[in-house]
Chains A and B, each alone.
Chain A
């Protein structure tokens, strides 16, 4: 369960980071975010990724926790990249 929750948090973080990039935002949200929204998305995405890292380290210790976090972040990034690729193929 901890793994799934960590993956969910990391995926939301990666989605926010992707939405902060205008060309990805156009595919994900059909529009670009304005400057303050972009800043918010970057901060929120970073905060979610940091909280995922914190959760992993708290659960598994520094070494395994960081390894687990990178696994979550990598898989989450792939999910978001897959979503964007799918959206691009539909437009």
Chain B
């Protein structure tokens, strides 16, 4: 450890030793390359995952047909409404599921049924939303909503699930490595804790990279580690295979050991009416006096062996104990499943921390802002990589092709993806409501615009590409509430008047993003084009190419 440079240029100067240099040099090298190699995937995961913390709210905005305010109805009334609809429409279903609205943009009762035989559309299930005022389905536009964005952060898009799982897993592993090596590399981690020096070229980017990662370090470690825990058995199947063998029965037994109590009784074929769900809910309430009932799930309805599961909203990081199981015929409670093993409890708590489902709006915004810091950390790392190599290029000598390539792709990755997401929201409002495969087309718009941003960055001079893409993004964000007002009845003023703060909050957030982007766009302008004279430090930084 004695061979450290005196200055905290840290990683920027000591990374050249490769893996065979001194310890911290090796770590710096590893930090740089483990971070940069899969940075595009990591940035994609962070952007879509961060948006996912508001997936229900985005869902609500993207389905303007949904009512703005939640009509008053008791849990019992909503369950009755849902089951009445399901019994009428799917009397032969093998499963009836009714989900109550929660307070994050949900305004309808969601009903779901597994069908015995495929229906005329070839589907084996129905999934629809009931208007609480009428008990009838609400026709909503076909949209991926916030859930599609959220889902992409682990399932990506246009890829089979298994491939996406492994790609995301490898990227997450690289990220974890980059975080650990980053801590080792950053020797003045406490001295530089609050340091952000603006207008100092490469130094500013390094400060930005450090501060965005160090100040949210607990979040970064938690989110990366827990991301790996999600697919622990897929990423290290040896644990399971070596313990239990590779036969399917053995694997099932292993899963049963990890999650005891999830076995469902087989249907007997003998008919029996189900008990009034209100009685079961009343029993559940004695166990959870303060919890909100989230769903009712009936397996084999109408059968003697029918089972009813009652779920509550998650109010803690321990997800266990949030479901009770009853006989749907007698109402008798099934015995409590045996407690989960310690590793499952730990995994559950870790996953709950990752998802943040328990978080109220204060904490949810904390999650969101931490996610934004994660995006900033990855983005500044990518910029720093290119900046350092550009700085090393001698004057009057063209930069290496790799540097030029990364500079251009940085624009398209960092701003282009955000342009794609903005285009996704625009597509939700502008695509014809009756368009076939509309949700898929929304996604095509996202990736199409992202692809165009690569083309644009490749054709334009880098600084211009930054300005133009940031300017376009600002415009898309600022105009989105106007497009919303022109294409729906749920414009900002109407949302505020009706007390629909979820929808209004989305519009206001877009306006805020737009205004922030305008400030950034102005900073990207050459000094002579700004209306207000920039501080000397900013001019110097611009001349230095920052």
Q: Identify the A interface with B (CB < 8 A).
A: 3, 14, 17-18, 21, 23-24, 61, 63-64, 67-68, 70-75, 77-78, 80-82, 84-85, 88-89
Contacts and interface: CB of A to CB of B under 8 A. Distances in A.
A81 B211 contact: yes
B215 interface: yes
Contact of B366 (A17, A61, A71, A77): A71
B75 interface: no
A74 B318 contact: no
A75 B366 CA distance: 8
B243 to A, nearest CB: 29
A84 B215 CA distance: 14
A89 B362 CA distance: 31
A64 B373 CA distance: 21
Contacts of B195: 23-24, 81, 84
B196 A81 contact: yes
Contact of B193 (A64, A72, A77, A89): A77
A64 B194 contact: no
Contact of A63 (B196, B215, B353): B353
A63 to B, nearest CB: 3
Given A21-B191, A74-B218, A77-B193, A67 B363 contact: yes
B41 to A, nearest CB: 25
A80 to B, nearest CB: 6
B196 A61 contact: no
B216 A74 contact: yes
Contacts of A68: 362-363, 366
A17 B191 CA distance: 10
A70 B218 contact: yes
Contact of A64 (B198, B216, B218, B317): B317
- Identify the 4 closest CB pairs spanning chains A and B, nearest first: A71-B366, A63-B317, A81-B194, A70-B218
A66 to B, nearest CB: 9
Contacts of B198: 85, 88-89
A68 B316 CA distance: 12
Interface of B: 190-191, 193-198, 211, 215-216, 218-219, 316-318, 349, 352-353, 356, 358-359, 362-363, 366-367, 369-370, 373, 535, 537
Contacts of A73: 218
Contact of B194 (A24, A63, A74, A75): A24
Residue among A64, A77, A80 with the highest chain B CB neighbour number at 10 A = A64
A89 B194 contact: no
Main secondary structure of the interface of A (DSSP, over half): helix
25 contacts: A3-B362, A18-B194, A21-B190, A21-B191, A21-B193, A61-B316, A63-B316, A63-B352, A67-B356, A68-B362, A68-B363, A70-B218, A71-B366, A72-B366, A74-B215, A74-B366, A74-B369, A74-B373, A75-B366, A77-B215, A81-B195, A81-B196, A82-B196, A88-B198, A89-B535
Contacts of A72: 366
Residue among A70, A73, A80 with the highest chain B CB neighbour number at 10 A = A70
A61 B363 CA distance: 14
B358 A64 contact: yes
Given A63-B317, A63-B349, A74-B370, A84 B363 contact: no
A62 to B, nearest CB: 8
A18 B215 CA distance: 13
Nearest to B218: A70
Given A18-B194, A75-B366, A85-B196, A70 B219 contact: yes
B7 to A, nearest CB: 14
A65 B196 CA distance: 29
A2 B316 CA distance: 18
Nearest to A81: B194
B536 to A, nearest CB: 11
Contacts of B373: 74
Contacts of B370: 71, 74
A69 to B, nearest CB: 9
A88 B191 CA distance: 16
B365 to A, nearest CB: 9
A44 B366 CA distance: 25
A77 B194 contact: yes
A82 B195 CA distance: 9
A17 to B, nearest CB: 8
Given A81-B196, A89-B198, 9 more contacts: A63-B352, A64-B358, A67-B359, A71-B363, A74-B219, A74-B373, A77-B194, A85-B197, A89-B535
Nearest to A62: B317
B456 to A, nearest CB: 32
A63 B352 CA distance: 10
A68 B370 CA distance: 12
A64 B193 CA distance: 25
A82 B197 CA distance: 10
Contacts of A81: 193-196, 211, 215
Contacts of B211: 81
Contacts of B190: 21
B103 to A, nearest CB: 17
A21 B189 CA distance: 12
Residue among B197, B216, B356 with the highest chain A CB neighbour number at 10 A = B216
A73 B214 CA distance: 12
Residue among A67, A75, A78 with the highest chain B CB neighbour number at 10 A = A67
A35 B367 CA distance: 38
Nearest to B194: A81
A71 to B, nearest CB: 3
Contacts of A21: 190-191, 193-194
A89 B537 CA distance: 9
Contacts of B218: 70, 73-74
Contact of B353 (A67, A75, A82, A88): A67
